[in-house]
Amino acid sequence: MNPRDSRTAVTALLADRGYRLTAPRRQVLDVLVASRTPLSAAEIHRRLENRRINLASVYRTIYVLRRLEAVRVTDAIGAEQRFELADPFSAHHHHLICQDCGRIDDFEGCPLEERVLRAVNRRVRRSRRFRVVQHELRLIGACADCDRGRPDGAERRP
């Protein structure tokens, strides 16, 4: 889903559930749609074009968007919660998390083969009677900046 479609879809969802598109909601949504990484509430707040919207109202807006399942929280390592548009309001992606600086980047697409996914889902369904409907994958390691200067071969192939 491209940014414009994401924006339209979330706006339609808000209207459909009886939520007005207030200035904070519109602007928080704009920031989330434009970002290629999950953002903390403080980061969203810093990117708002209207400086009079306060942090509390950013939190309230995130709360509403999470209740509507348009936004999800993604966990970082030893950092604040970060938020992003949920599936299906954004393209399917996963996260690269740096355990040194805590930075999180989107990793576009899905590295899991359909065949592997199906096998995992079948196994979970059989052993735990749990029906999988979606998945998240966190790849944890060192970002390019933090990894610089480290001897080659520090990452071992599995």
Give me the residues that bind Zn ion (CB under 5 A), please.
98, 100-101, 103, 110, 143, 146
Minimal distance, residue 109 CB to Zn ion, in Å: 8
Q: Tell me the angle at which helices 23-34 and 3-16 cross, rounded to the nearest 10 degrees.
A: 150
Nearer residue to Zn ion within complex by CB, 110 or 132: 110
Nearer residue to Zn ion within complex by CB, 42 or 79: 79
* 44 token code pair: 């969203």
Those residues with Cβ within 8 angstroms of residue 79's Cβ, 6 or more apart along the chain or in another chain: 40, 102
Decide: 73 and 83 in contact? Cβ < 8 Å: yes
Nearer residue to Zn ion within complex by CB, 12 or 73: 73
Minimal distance, residue 93 CB to Zn ion, in Å: 8
Nearer residue to Zn ion within complex by CB, 15 or 120: 120
Minimal distance, residue 75 CB to Zn ion, in Å: 16
Minimal distance, residue 89 CB to Zn ion, in Å: 16
User: What does each C-alpha distance from 34 to 28, 58, 77, 79, 148 come to in angstroms?
Assistant: 10, 16, 23, 22, 29
